Amino acid sequence: MRLRHRDGQTVHLSYCTNVHPAEDFAGIVAQLDTYATRVRERLGADLLGLGLWLPAPVAAELADQGRLRRQLRAEVDARGLEVVTLNGFPYQAFHAPVVKQAVYHPDWTTPARLDYTLDLARILLDLMPDDASRGSISTLPFAWRGPWDPAQAGAAQRILERLSSGLARMAWETGRAVRVAFEPEPGCVVESTAQAVRHLADIDTDRIGVCLDLAHLACAWEEPAEAVGRLRAAGIPVVKVQVSAALEAADPVAAHDTLREYVEPRFLHQTRSTATASAQDPADPASAADDLDEALDRGLDGAWRVHYHVPLHAAPMPPLTSTVPVLKQALGELVGGPTALCDHLDVETYTWGVLPPARRPDGDAALADGIAAELAFARDTLVDLGLSETAGARS
């Protein structure tokens, strides 16, 4: 969907397809009918944005074959869909029975991560609608936090220079730009906006910036106004926003049994307590655990926020709540002012399939309904902030 900001910018709103487990080209096309077209129809929209996730083997195939890229663009166009952003964080096998820390490999010290990201950029240049001014790709914040030594930091810096050169070359060849957005995440080398400023101090800001995942921002106990102001002061662009909400427990002792229902084997659910907000190291063991079961077994003082993306429109199991208030504050800072600070907003709730059974959608149609409800929630929130729907956003 497209919305118009008061400054005249088009703001693209999409949903991220990493919620779907397709691992080959045929599966990617099939999910367009199984989910995306249904979501568009439920919203009554003429045009629906997708934050497409392409596993590395599919990306390599598409980057190598212009015919396949043109075919994918035709499949997208024929269904009233559009793609201006890709999720380049998971490399492949994102719906394996156990993912956990495997999602951070290969990291930004490796040529494999560079090759994958440049493949995605080549693909996106052919997928973007003709009137899109630029594309974006979100990616992991360098690596999992440890070990991370000067040698690895140097290797990553050299690879980022190659990334910038590759993106600049494509822009020169095509006349259109793709930017790569590093996404702070709990437990990683870059967990907070303060760490983003430190580690991205020497980037080419024409090609590289930050992806603010609003669930991650909440888990770091960051104040949205301070976080956005910090990035602006450092000159680091917010290239992309992932519109997401985390799980919150004001009283983890009282919510212990309910929190147990959210423990599951596939994804990491890094947990941070209120003490994180004042900690010099956001991953300090006194205020942090690398997974929810660890936090429950060990205990953390204060209220908790859990890296568990929960549906935006539906409250989690009580007495738990979500960080939707942080989401709304952050969107207010990013697009509620006189100038839009970001024009790519992607709803990213990839955890539908691992929610507690009572909250899990029963079948493809129910999942499409849930995604549509999230997008409607995000759209209405943006309209409340003063954005307006453009022609074709709704039939």
Q: What is the pLDDT of residues 260-288, one digit of tens each?
A: 999 999 999 999 999 777 666 667 777 89
What per-residue confidence (pLDDT) applies to 278?
66
88: three-class secondary structure by DSSP: coil
44 - beta bridge partners?
A: none
What per-residue confidence (pLDDT) applies to 176?
94
What per-residue confidence (pLDDT) applies to 393?
45
What per-residue confidence (pLDDT) applies to 279?
63
CA dist 93 and 101 (Å) reads 12
Closest residue by Cα to residue 2 from 327, 394, 340: 394
23: which DSSP letter?
Answer: -
* Furthest C-alpha separation in the chain: 59
What per-residue confidence (pLDDT) applies to 276?
75
**Count of all residues that appear for the chain in the document:** 395
Per residue in 28-79, pLDDT (tens digit) is 999 999 999 999 999 999 999 999 999 999 999 999 999 999 999 999 999 9
Per residue in 377-394, pLDDT (tens digit) is 999 999 999 999 885 443
Q: How crowded is residue 272: how many other Cβ atoms within 10 Å of its Cβ?
A: 31
310 - beta bridge partners?
A: 245
218: three-class secondary structure by DSSP: helix
Low-confidence ranges of the chain (pLDDT < 70): 278-282, 391-395
Q: How crowded is residue 103: how many other Cβ atoms within 10 Å of its Cβ?
A: 18
pTM of the model: 0.95
Spell out the residues 6+ positions from residue 122 whose beta carbon is closer than 8 angstroms to its own: 62, 63, 69, 170
Q: How crowded is residue 181: how many other Cβ atoms within 10 Å of its Cβ?
A: 26
CB 83 within 8 A of CB 36: no
